[in-house]
Amino acid sequence: MSKTRAAITGVQGYVPDYVLTNAELEKMVDTNDEWIRTRTGISERRILKGEGRGTSVMGIEAVKGLLEKTNTDPADIELVICATVTADMQFPDTANIIADEVGIKNAFCYDINAACSGFLYALTTGARFIEAGAHKKVIIIGADKMSSIIDYTDRATCVIFGDGAGAVLLEATKEEEGIMDALLKSDGAGRIYLHQKAGGSSYPATAETVARGEHYVYQNGRPVFKAAVSGMPDVVSKVMQRNGLSNEDVNWLVPHQANKRIIETVAKMVDFPMERVMVNIHKYGNTTAGTIPLCLWEWEGQLNKGDNLILTAFGGGFTWGAIYVKWAY
């Protein structure tokens, strides 16, 4: 009997309306459009405005649209996983809030926190439940309201991040398509370069931690850059090799959108032409768990059944990975 696989059968994205341009950032911190574009490739990013509006607001929009476009009854969804580092609150998980708001009542729901690799971790986890025969319809969300943990007086981080969400529907299939392979990695030693110092159980929120700005993203960019451009090519090459894929066999490389220079370096290292690399960082910046599903959403119209995609990401943790997807529709 042929193996059960998990196929992506729909994708939907959502970005907030507010556009934060480089020109506006020039007025907030000592930076300039030229530096931001040449060092990161970013021209603008979206910001979710409004008091009390958290990551779930974007996840809800993405999932609503996904259910609608795939003509899926919310009652048929059995599992919802949301990858995020900016959960609405410490608990309950944002996946629960999203499911409740869109009418998904027969599912169990939880979040995965793997920073920029979160969508890859969540996609792999969801696929495993389907492959094991436990569930038939699963929703995977990647969503982050990075503006909620960014210090808009720190020019080293505030120019990079944006807000956004994407979601995919995973369904069981007996066809040779869907999530074909995944290689995920983590190395906790990298946590010193990229983390949020306070707000967790080590340093719970106090007036002092807030005053010191310890609830914002701390990043030492250079070591992260270095680790990203060695980690991603390594897992991409390994996944391609063990699936017998040459560069010509892969239709699209779908990298996490952290920095255009990282994307170009990774593509060069795996000898992949930029025409077949999905890049939308200029419009959205780094939306952490949102970047990869937002790319799939934007390129959906150009994807054909049977296309081979390699998704790859690197981020806080450190976490990184690559997934081989055969597009199913």
Active site residues: 116, 256, 286
Judged by CB, which is closer to ligand ACO: 191, or 305?
191
Judged by CB, which is closer to ligand ACO: 19, or 156?
156
Interface pick for ligand ACO out of 86, 94, 288, 291 (rule CB under 6 A): 288
Measured CA angle at 152 (ends 150, 158), to 5 deg: 65
SS3 state at 6: strand
DSSP H helical segments within the chain, as ranges? Answer: 22-28, 33-40, 55-69, 94-102, 118-131, 155-158, 207-211, 221-242, 260-269, 281-284, 291-299
**Residue 155 near ligand ACO by CB under 6 A:** yes
For 271, counting Cβ atoms within 10 Å of its Cβ (0-12 exposed, 13-18 middle, 19+ buried), the class is exposed
Candidates 6-14, 33-41, 92-100, 265-273: pick the segment binding ligand ACO (CB under 6 A). 33-41
**Residue 263 near ligand ACO by CB under 6 A:** no
**Residue 156 near ligand ACO by CB under 6 A:** yes
Interface pick for ligand ACO out of 9, 12, 22, 40 (rule CB under 6 A): 40
**Residue 194 near ligand ACO by CB under 6 A:** yes
Lay out the site mask for ligand ACO across 213-242 (x = CB under 6 A, - = otherwise): --------xx-xx--x--------------
Phi and psi torsions of 218, nearest 5°: -105, 130
Judged by CB, which is closer to ligand ACO: 38, or 106?
38
**Among candidates 165, 186, 91, 178, which has minimal Cα distance to 138?**
178
**Residue 116 near ligand ACO by CB under 6 A:** yes
**Residue 159 near ligand ACO by CB under 6 A:** yes
User: How near is the Cβ of 193 to ligand ACO at its closest, in Å?
Assistant: 9
CA gap 184, 306 in Å, rounded: 23
User: How near is the Cβ of 228 to ligand ACO at its closest, in Å?
Assistant: 5
**Residue 57 near ligand ACO by CB under 6 A:** no
Phi and psi torsions of 252, nearest 5°: -140, 135
Rounded (10°) CA dihedral 73, 75, 79, 84: 70
Judged by CB, which is closer to ligand ACO: 173, or 288?
288
DSSP H helical segments within 146-301, as ranges? Answer: 155-158, 207-211, 221-242, 260-269, 281-284, 291-299
Judged by CB, which is closer to ligand ACO: 110, or 225?
225
Interface pick for ligand ACO out of 164, 178, 315, 321 (rule CB under 6 A): 315
SS3 state at 175: coil
Q: Identify the H or E element spanning 317.
A: none
CA gap 123, 131 in Å, rounded: 12
**Among candidates 144, 140, 220, 234, which has minimal Cα distance to 178?**
140
Candidates 15-23, 34-42, 168-176, 184-192: pick the segment binding ligand ACO (CB under 6 A). 34-42
**Residue 279 near ligand ACO by CB under 6 A:** no
**Residue 55 near ligand ACO by CB under 6 A:** no
The upper half-sphere exposure of residue 280, i.e. CA atoms within 13 Å in the direction of its Cβ, equals 21
Which stretches of the chain bind ligand ACO, using CB under 6 A? 31, 35-36, 39-40, 115-116, 155-156, 159-160, 194, 221-222, 224-225, 228, 258-259, 262, 286, 288, 315-316
